[in-house]
Structure 1
Amino acid sequence: MRGCGVLLVLLGSVQAQSVGLQIALGFTSSAPTDLRVVQQGFPDTVVGGARFEGRDLEGFPYYTLRLWYGERGGLRFELELIHQKLYFAGAERNGAIFEQFKVTDGFNYLLFNLAYALEAGPLRVVPRVGLGVIVPHPETVVRGLAWGIDGDPRWYHLGGLGGQLALGLEAPWAVTPGLEGKFTLGYSRLNIAGGYTEGWFRSLHGTFGLGWP
């Protein structure tokens, strides 16, 4: 009888697990950052206070895609892609060396998250934390030298490490609408012609989307 009881508990635990998919659009705001530029034939330079725009709904939009396994109301393990975009919008000093600096095919975060869904009346509150890698696709012209071709997948490269802190709200329906706020932080090295530029990237994100279930 004890064995049957244990078996029922295990079966109940397995049945409580779910697989879910969530996709969202959103908006971003990035903090100014100092970027170190290392380029063959030129002295190392710091572009101070570099500012970036997201242009989140322009062209192919900002989006997030998340696959999770776990409990609808409880612990979840997640894989998430955050497709952020960056367009250089000026700097406090030395910004003139960037004749073009954009990351339109994605300043992409690939993250493993831990999340916990808490029942809060008719909604679920879902805090999450994630760590992973950054895979950018820069298209730049630095000091007259071009690197990267928009739309060509061969220009993706492993660019660094990053993570997120996020807080989401879900409506527990068959098709689940949701809102989420995120903070992402990453240190990335972006390839340019004859070298690279590197620095910290900090952004706030607001997303809205749907999930199944």
Structure 2
Amino acid sequence: MRKISSLLAAFALAIASQPAAAEMELSIYGGSQSSPHSRVSGAFPGTGAKYNALIGWEGKSLSSPPYYGARATWWRRPDLGYGIELTHAKVYAPAAERTPIGFNRMEFSDGHNILTFNVMKRWNNRFGPFTPYVGAGVGIALPHVDVTSANGFKSFGYQVTGPAARLTAGAKYDLSDSWAVFGEYQFTYSSNKAKLPAGGSLNTNIITNAINVGVSFSF
């Protein structure tokens, strides 16, 4: 985790050392998020027995707490910006797939939080009120680990579980000089190593695919 912290600190220092921003853009969004299958492995709480299974994660974007995200972008040039983004994604392991390996509950549902520092590129004044953009970021995963084993051990809390990355592509539509709406596709990847009680562990790589819609305010 020291390497991750150093990387985040380097990104923060790079942003802070830039000249004053020409434009600040704040964005919030919701949408539909899914997650493909991934393999889950680790040590079973209380026994240390190894487990390994392929889980077909469910996203449940609109169930409480809903899927959402927010980002701040400092546009240092008209076409290039830096920023920070937090996405509150979610993944749930279906009962039919977690029960055979001994878990009554296995989910990152409040949520599978992805925090990244981003570099953003946009194309202004080429498509009328529409502005296409792309972005990429690196950071960390901070999921709320909600796992209960069949023998009664429970994990319920936030953990820093590993590195994460994101890719974004979309377009915004200007409503005024300050306000805009946008739609985008977003991909995230995270490598997670979560601690479970009584010597247990849970390791999995989580991918999310999302279609986002949102609103932004610039000043």
**1:189-200 residue pairs with structure 2 within 5 A?**
189-194=193-198, 195-200=200-205
1:24 aligns with 2:36: no
Aligned counterpart for 2:82 among listed residues 72, 77, 98: 77
Paired amino acid for 1:129: A
Partner of 2:150: 143
Give the equivalent residue in structure 1 for 2:7.
none
Indicate the larger mover: 64-73 or 89-98.
89-98
| Number of the residue aligned with 2:50 | 44
What code does the residue aligned with 1:163 have? A
Q: State the distance in 1 between where 2:137 and 2:43 align.
A: 30
Instruction: Give the Cα separation in 2 of the matches to 1:103 and 1:162.
Output: 15
Report the more deviating stretch, 125-134 or 49-58.
49-58
Conserved? CA contact 1:102–1:140, under 8 Å:
yes
The code of the aligned residue for 2:188 comes to T
Aligned partner (choices 90, 102, 116) of residue 107 of structure 2: 102
Q: Which amino acid aligns with 2:152?
A: L
Do the aligned residues in 2 keep the contact of 1:73 with 1:116 (CA within 8 Å)? no
How far apart in 2 are the matches of 1:167 and 1:95?
A: 39
CA distance in 1, matches of 2:117, 2:61: 23
CA distance in 1, matches of 2:155, 2:123: 44
Partner in structure 2 of residue 34 of structure 1:
39
Calculate the TM-score normalised by the size of structure 1. 0.83
What is the identity percentage for the equivalent residue pairs of Structure 1 and Structure 2? Answer: 22
Instruction: Specify the SS of the correspondent of 1:53.
Output: coil
Residue in 1 aligned with 2:13?
Answer: none
Instruction: Write the letter of the residue equivalent to 1:169.
Output: A
CA distance in 2, matches of 1:85, 1:92: 17
Structure 1 residues 98-177: aligned runs within 5 Å: 98-119=103-124, 120-122=126-128, 123-149=130-156, 155-172=157-174, 173=176, 174-177=178-181
Higher Cα Rg, which structure: 1
Contact 2:114 2:140 in 1 (8 A): yes
Structure 1 residue runs without a partner (length 5+): 1-13, 150-154
Q: Mean alpha-carbon deviation: is it higher for 108-117 or for 63-72?
A: 63-72
Aligned-residue offset at 1:59: 1.1
Measured at CA, do residues 175 and 28 of structure 1 come closer, stay the same or move farther in structure 2, by a change above 3 Å?
same
The runs of 5 or more residues in structure 2 that have no matched partner are 1-18
The correspondence for 2:186, drawn from 182, 187, 198, is 182
- Counterpart of 2:82 in 1: which secondary structure? strand
Distance 1:140 1:92, change over 3 A: closer
How many angstroms does 1:114 deviate by? 0.2
TM-score (norm 2): 0.81
